[in-house]
Structure 1
Amino acid sequence: SITYTRPERAPRHALVLREAAVCVTTWGSGYRLGSTMEFSGYAEGLNRTRLDALRRGAAAALREPEGPEVVEEWWGWRPMSMDEVPLIGPSTRWSNLLLATAHGMLGVSMSAATGELVAALAGRGAPAIDPAPYAPARFGL
């Protein structure tokens, strides 16, 4: 992602530029272009081609696609499981560990439901959903 100081003509609400696959997020003092994902193994570092694609996508759709100053260019891992289903539940290896990971691109949107499921699995009531499909044990974890 690329974070800028807020441009004068920033969108009022977060939006997704579908064709360009660019997410635009604004807040009081900032502005961010993001939403790339690549399967690159464990290669680290920013991919300039991806950052340039964010800039081109924003330029094609927005009147003021970049902020006055770049604050940060950022990348990070997106933990995923082999079956693309999150790992939520007790570890088979350590009795004092509950896992809640591998949400891929859905971590924020699944956070409340994951928190409720983890709380139930930690002994705070019955789970509202069947935890079996998310069990880390399916991979021996």
Structure 2
Amino acid sequence: MSDADLDEIRKARLAQLRQQGAASGSAPAAASAGAGGEGQEDARAREAEARQSILSQILLPEAADRLGRIRLVKESRATDMENRLIMLARSGQLRSKVTEEQLKDLLGAVSEQEEKTQDRIVVQRRGGWDDDDDDLLDL
């Protein structure tokens, strides 16, 4: 990932933070009550657009297609993967665009982590049942 790509990501994030700051407290209460729904929808649309812009910069087309197919099956997993990829890009841990194989590896690591953290029910059976057959031998 080049410095220009990182600069674009930083600029997109800065613009997103500015929009969130402007939407959170700068409008008067009466004006925000009437236009609150539209403002939130606009903010969501801008955020989605910024996310897609970042993802298009860090994913190869094959990886983006796979992520789209994952979204069709389970949207929460796709969103989680997007968040992880964006976090990796922002922290500078991605050296190049993510390939489909790297995305598969990341998905595998995430699913292993989820399996370990899920609550499991453990059934412990008691040993040493009292067998009545032992009593018959004493006769």
With the shorter chain as reference, the TM-score category is under 0.3
* Higher Cα radius of gyration: 2
Higher helix share: 2
Provide TM-score, normalisation by structure 2: 0.23
Higher strand share: 1
**Which of 1 and 2 has higher RCO (CA within 8 Å, sep 6+)?**
2
